[in-house]
Chain A
Amino acid sequence: MRDNAVERLFSLFTSSDRAEAMAGDLAEEAEQRGPIWFWCHVARITFVLWRNTAMEAPLQLLALILAGVAVLSAPAFAGVAALYLVPSVGAVSWIAVAVIWWGGALWTGVSLAAIAPRRGTVACAILAVGGAALVMAFGATIEPRELATPSTERMFFSVALGATVALLTGGALARGATVVIAGPFAVTIALAATLLFVMAAASSPSARQIEWRDPSPHAVKLVTVDTDVQLEVLDWGGSGPALVLLSGLGGTAHHYDDVASALTARYRVVGVTRRGHRGSSAATGGYGFARLAEDVLRVIDTMRLNNPVVIGHSFAGEEMHVLGVRHAAKIRGLVYVDAAFDRGDNSDSEIYGAVARTVSSAPGPKAEDLASFAALRMYLEKYGGAGPEGYLRTRYRINADGSIAGLWVPEPPIRQAMSKEIQAAYNPYNPERIRVPAVAIYAVPKSADDLMRRGSSDRLAFPELAARAADDPAIREGVEKLYVLTRERVQKHEKWFAGFAERGRVVELSGTHDLIVSNPREVLQQIEAFVSSLAQQP
């Protein structure tokens, strides 16, 4: 038993006759010298035989080591590819994974047999285990979760692919006769592996998530607008009259990722992310409206935009008010997208609030809605719209596993400075009247049903409520009341705007406060109509 094993071990590296004689010699002498002597010399002879083999045929040795690496990496590579190609778990996918995985292993085995050096396939396998151990040691240093990152995946694929190709070419070198077989094998596997890799990269949902790229065709620039303050400026290019796009509080220029692409055919389009917001400098101060407007003006100057029309959503109205008065010479016009409100008048808030509380509003996101961007998007689409993914990615914080951690907010000191300065600027609220041409678009429902289905300045769309209101007269009545108040509220702001902007015009769209996302086409139409009306003016 013992001697048989030793004989077999020796025969991996030398002829079976010699192996038999050596094992016999050791056994014979061991009767006097004991088992320790026996095993010591088994080890020493094995090493000497292995070394002699290596020195006689270094290329064979290289081929053996490469074979070892390939023995594990080829099926593992096939397995990773299989998991990517067949990500869902079901009976068919298990079979597919098994076929691809063990097919890879089988293929490796066949190749090993084909290129095994004269000294034996078993020797090949022994060294293969060494190679396998190396790969496993490498694998053990990687946390399983980290395996999903693109860099380790790429590394794993390249290592596996390289080892497989090297195995075949190494084998071909070691045995010239197999070049004819190994050459096409190597080319085929290299092509197949590349194809698998490309398919896996394209089809894997997690890879897409991690390697997401902003598809919006903009150049991202940083423009210095103040001491130590740089703003993120998205330049979509285009030619024609210049447009500057501003987002609301908490938003970024990516808000316009989709809309802007539709504008570049006729306009020169640039978006600006306000200071303290994601992508721009986290300034410790300068959040007064005058300073914020100054920031926009610096961007206009730096980007050499000639008399642009400034389009702003929500809070951007405050910056536009300043631009329209103090920098009127540099601005052709203003488009307020649900952004022109008399913020000093809260007289209706009590009665509006009392009614609004009786009407259920759209539910907040649940845990499953925050499991991924896809889930979040589905949730948002239900209640008015999600907007460009690039925008969502600046609005939300993402966990390492791709789930949503929550809304992005500035660091506490920045947040405090921002809210303190903005509150101070609102109190008292007394913007100077603007003289430049302007259009104010309001998100206002045209019926109670619109209020439920499409939302308003104050509410998200909530289609489920429409179904409930149809069955329950009490709900219906509440919604009707709220609709009347909503209209009154908007009419009050519209009236204020008419006095505020002497060359102003008002447009109503039925949608949510975020009209850029809920009504992009209508907003685009309004922008085009406004800019062409300017061209006709002197």
Chain B
Amino acid sequence: MTAPINLGEFEQLILLAILRLRDDAYGVTIRAELANRAGRTVAPGAMYTALDRLESKGLIASRMSDPTPQRGGRAKRHVTVTAAGMKALTRSVQAYERLLDGLNLSRGAHA
């Protein structure tokens, strides 16, 4: 089998944001989600680069929506997390949880 894919922190954030947005994940909403939930302002250019990389690794899939009258009739590029993406994300999150176990970092941060 192929070697497991390790995700970078930024990639994890993007995958999580896509999951949260469900059917409405595309450029604008992903950036808004990252800003609102993670407090991260991401430049569009950097995000598109990351999306392209994730797609080329097979962790997300994209499809063009039907054109709508909004945004000058331009279609959106909707993205969804693939099974491989879910697996990689799960692995990363589990690794985090195991490492965080017993550290009580989040409680300490809020104290």
Contacts and interface: CB of A to CB of B under 8 A. Distances in A.
B70 interface: yes
Question: Considering residues B28, B70, B72, B75, which has the most beta carbons from chain A within 10 angstroms of its beta carbon?
Answer: B72
Given A17-B64, A21-B27, A48 B75 contact: no
A28 B44 contact: no
Contacts of B46: 48
Interface of B: 26-28, 31, 43-46, 48-49, 52, 64, 70-72, 74-77
Interface string A346-389: 00000000000000000000000000000000000000000000
Contact of A3 (B28, B64, B74, B75): B74
A23 interface: yes
Contact of A41 (B43, B71, B75): B43
Contacts of B76: 21, 24-25
Contacts of B64: 17, 20-21
Given A26-B44, A48-B49, A20 B74 contact: yes
Nearest to A18: B77
Q: Which residue, A24, A28, A41, A45, has most C-beta atoms of chain B within 10 A?
A: A24
Contacts of B75: 17, 20-21, 24
A7 B74 contact: yes
B75 to A, nearest CB: 6
A45 B48 contact: yes
Contact of B45 (A18, A21, A45): A45
A25 B45 contact: no
A3 B73 CA distance: 10
A13 to B, nearest CB: 11
A22 B70 contact: no
Contact of A47 (B45, B70, B77): B45
Nearest to B30: A25
A3 B48 CA distance: 18
A23 B48 contact: no
A28 B26 CA distance: 12
A25 B48 CA distance: 11
Interface of A: 3, 7, 17-18, 20-29, 41, 44-45, 47-49, 52
Given A21-B27, A22-B27, A44-B43, A27 B48 contact: no
Contact of A29 (B28, B48, B52): B28
B45 A27 contact: no
A63 B62 CA distance: 31
Given A3-B72, A29-B31, A47-B45, 11 more contacts: A22-B27, A22-B77, A23-B74, A25-B27, A26-B44, A27-B71, A27-B74, A44-B45, A48-B48, A49-B45, A52-B49
Nearest to B64: A17
A41 B49 contact: no
Closest 3 CB pairs of A and B: A24-B74, A21-B77, A25-B27
A417 B77 CA distance: 93
B51 to A, nearest CB: 9
B55 to A, nearest CB: 10
B43 A25 contact: no
A13 B29 CA distance: 24
A251 B8 CA distance: 87
A487 to B, nearest CB: 100
8 contacts: A17-B64, A21-B76, A25-B44, A25-B71, A41-B45, A44-B44, A44-B45, A47-B45
A41 B46 CA distance: 10
A52 B26 CA distance: 21
Contact of B52 (A3, A7, A52): A52
Contacts of A7: 74
A24 B68 CA distance: 11
A24 B71 CA distance: 6
A21 B74 contact: yes
A41 B48 CA distance: 12
Contacts of B31: 29
Contacts of B45: 41, 44-45, 47-49
A47 B48 CA distance: 12
B74 A41 contact: no
Contacts of B43: 41, 44
Contacts of A26: 44
Nearest to A1: B72
B28 A22 contact: no
A44 B47 CA distance: 12
Contacts of B70: 28
Nearest to B70: A28
A336 B75 CA distance: 101
A29 B72 CA distance: 12
Contacts of A20: 64, 74-75, 77
B36 to A, nearest CB: 14
B106 to A, nearest CB: 32
Nearest to A47: B45
Contacts of A28: 28, 70-71
A21 B44 CA distance: 12
A28 B72 CA distance: 9
Contacts of A47: 45
Contacts of A44: 43-45
